[in-house]
Amino acid sequence: MPGKRIPRRTLSAIQETRWAMTPDQLETMIAIANREDLGALAASRPEYLQDDDADAVLKVYNEGRTAVIEVVGACFRYANLFTEFCGGAVYEDLALQLAVAEETQQIENAVLLLDTPGGMVTGCAEWVGMIEKFSKPIVAYVDGDACSAGYWMGAACDYIVASRTSQLGCLGVVAVYTDNKKQLEMEGLREYELVSTLTPNKRPDVTSSDGRAEIMRSIDDTAEIFLGDVARFRGFKGGAKGVAKATNGGGIYVGQKAVDIGLADEIGTFADVIETLAPAKKSLSRAV
């Protein structure tokens, strides 16, 4: 009931339970249970900014001055059956949110909250370009994973903060092809594919070495763009090859090790980032 203290057993339950939780959030819970800070709950929760023209809902903190754009799950260019049933992030929706943050005068900075294994290449480069051109300070906070395309967009931010257990990296491009000829034969089917004589590489044969080489050329060209951007954003020497060398061929690094090789700038918590970006607080070194 409003105005009544939370029963003492609630505070005991909080204090006697083992938590895998950031200290600041646990302190907030204790403060709420103790009623030592009646504003603790409100301060720890986000507000929402609705932009009807853009059909976007933007999560904001710091009295509406810090926008938080969440990239959670696999990333796709447009909403589809995967996003409908399995969730994930959509580049189009993320772009709308960033545009609202750009155009809203009250918003002074932004956080890109990342927990994604990556996603489609198509649409990602354009989304990354929007992050790069964002005129206000923007910080990436890696809550879980910032892998592959997820790291590409994180690298475009001014500064990257990672949690102690977050995973960053897995750089590069992959494509999967299935040879189903034997299955078709077992089903009594035979498939014929006729390709125009002047353009045999329109449909390279993945079962042949020449065909795989042609497909790899396209994959490598895309990876060159991806890793080249990372080199430029993060200051790696040697361009795409320098990034590949520094990450041991696109490996994944956890927490402090990601900081050590230059994939992130520091270890921290989401609350640390929000507090640092609050008005009258000292800004993160690169987010100015």
Q: CB–CB of 267/256 below 8 Å?
A: yes
pLDDT surpasses 80 at 149:
yes
> Residue 158: left (phi > 0), alpha (psi -120 to 50), or beta?
alpha
Q: Is residue 235 part of a domain?
A: no
Contacts of 79 (CB under 8 A, 6+ apart): 90, 92, 93
Average pLDDT, rounded, for the chain: 81
At 12 the pLDDT is: 55
Residue 253: beta bridge partners? Answer: 168
What's the whole-number mean pLDDT along residues 50-68? Answer: 79
At 121 the pLDDT is: 87
Q: Is residue 278 part of a domain?
A: no
Which of 11-25, 87-101, 108-122, 232-246 has the lowest average pLDDT? 11-25
Q: Is residue 20 part of a domain?
A: yes
Q: Is residue 100 part of a domain?
A: no
Q: Is residue 24 part of a domain?
A: yes
How many folded domains does the chain comprise? 1
- Band of pLDDT at residue 81, cut at 50, 70 and 90: low
Q: Is residue 81 part of a domain?
A: no
Choose between 8 and 181: higher pLDDT.
Answer: 181
Q: Is residue 94 part of a domain?
A: no
What's the whole-number mean pLDDT along residues 28-33? Answer: 61
Pick from 157, 153, 145, 83: nearest CA to 123: 153
Q: Is residue 168 part of a domain?
A: no
Contacts of 83 (CB under 8 A, 6+ apart): 76, 90
pTM to 2 decimal places: 0.77
Q: CB–CB of 91/123 below 8 Å?
A: yes
Which of 152-156, 165-169, 182-186, 245-249 has the lowest average pLDDT? 182-186
Which of 37-41, 73-77, 242-246 has the lowest average pLDDT? 37-41
What domain range includes position 33?
A: 1-45
At 147 the pLDDT is: 92
pLDDT surpasses 80 at 8:
no
Whole-number percent of the chain with pLDDT over 90: 44
Q: Check the CA dihedral 167-169-173-178 and report its sign.
A: negative
